Amino acid sequence: MTRTKFLAGTTAIALLPATAFAVPEGGYGDLVERLNPAVVFIEVSGTTGGPSLEESLPEGFPREELERRFGPLFPERGQERARQGLGSGFIIEEDGLIVTNNHVVENADTVTVKLADGTEYEAEVLGTDPLTDLAVLDIEAEDLTTVEWGTSADVRPGDEALAIGNPFGLGGTVTSGIVSAVSRDIRSGPYDDYIQTDAAINRGNSGGPLFNADGEVIGVNTMIFSSGGGSVGIGFAVPSDLAQDVVADLVDDGSIARGWLGVQIRPMTEEIANVLGYDGPTGAVIEMVSNDSPAAEAGLREGDIILDFADTEIIDVRDLTRAVADVAPDTTVEAVVLRRGDEETIEVTVGDMTDRTM
């Protein structure tokens, strides 16, 4: 499966404790043998709208003549065409709870989960979160092999990583590498905080786990960066600390509740920081406050610089986006703002971000 600019990554498993620095003697065979039954392969089928290619035909294209000879070139407007895709996932509960990517199951009519032993189940999509590209499936099963969540905050560049997944439909494929970077912002969305790995990740691996050497899931492989469609050693995984919270919320009621403030923001600049006597640019500058928003009701103004929100220090705009989203709707928190050179503490009752922007 692919997405614009970024090709869907795949399952990746990073398997090492903070003290592990080398491939275990004899390789990863024992570890893979233990983990492989908990990694699943996902097939989806559905329908999607007819292609837009018809509308972009060059002037003078001999459509009528070609259709006279060979029949219709395009579906009728609005006609649907078949969609099929592959992905990966991992089991977190013995009775069949499975984590994967939203883009693997998005708009699917049927989702089939295949275990490592070949057993197949039709899955129910319990919930999805497009903003973090996560989804939770459920199958009617019991006594399944599961994996455990690890702590992505402990992951460091240079730690080893192991991936097991379903690239190009080749189930049970294992690749290894290292963690190349953490907290990557690749501008794919407001919650970018990816683990980057050079473990080979390809189409069909999307939604698989990234483990540490203890066999704990430290990430959910989501996409790769590639100019040609294959792995070039730049893959990205949603960190487990974020994924675990989102998954728990989806299991609870199938949806994600995020806070909403109602402002447009931009980063602090070196120039503004120098004028204000700061060592460097920190904080988020409010460019606009939406009418009837929580920010407006709290008295936040254009030009205010938010330095802290709900006890979270705001270094850049991403910090504020996440801090607001992490607050449950209708919760009152404190925001520390710099206004005309003076710091003020303002109470804000956060709204609900459903169908809204920051």
103 is catalytic: yes
CB-facing half-sphere around the CA of 73: CA atoms within 13 A: 14
Q: How far is residue 101's CA from residue 208's CA, in Å, rounded to a whole number?
A: 8
Cα gap 212→198, rounded to integer Å: 14
CA distance 37 to 115: 7
**Cα 9 from Cα 1, distance rounded (Å):** 8
Active-site residue, from 129, 133, 138, 319: 133
> Which residues have CB under 8 Å from 225's CB, separation 6+?
6, 7, 186, 232, 234, 235, 236
Which of 88, 103, 129, 308 is labelled catalytic? 103
Q: In terms of DSSP H, where are the helices of the chain?
A: 29-35, 63-70, 102-105, 240-253, 270-276, 294-298, 317-325
CA atoms of 220 and 11, how far apart (whole Å): 7
How many CB atoms neighbour CB 94 within 10 A? 12
Q: Per this entry, what is the length of the chain?
A: 358
Helix and strand numbers, DSSP H then E, in the chain: 7, 23
Fill in the DSSP letter of residue 76: P
Active-site residue, from 188, 206, 226, 293: 206
Residue 206 bears catalytic tag? yes
- The alpha helices in 181-340, defined as continuous H runs, are 240-253, 270-276, 294-298, 317-325
159 is catalytic: no
C-alpha span between 290 and 296 (Å, rounded): 7
Residue that has been written with the tokens 């504020």 in this structure: 320
In order of 29, 246, 350, the CA distances from 89 in angstroms are 20, 15, 34
Given a contact cutoff of 8 angstroms between Cβ atoms, the answer to whether 7 and 204 are in contact is no
Task: Give the whole-angstrom CA distance, residue 149 versus residue 154.
Answer: 12
**Residues with active-site annotation:** 103, 133, 206
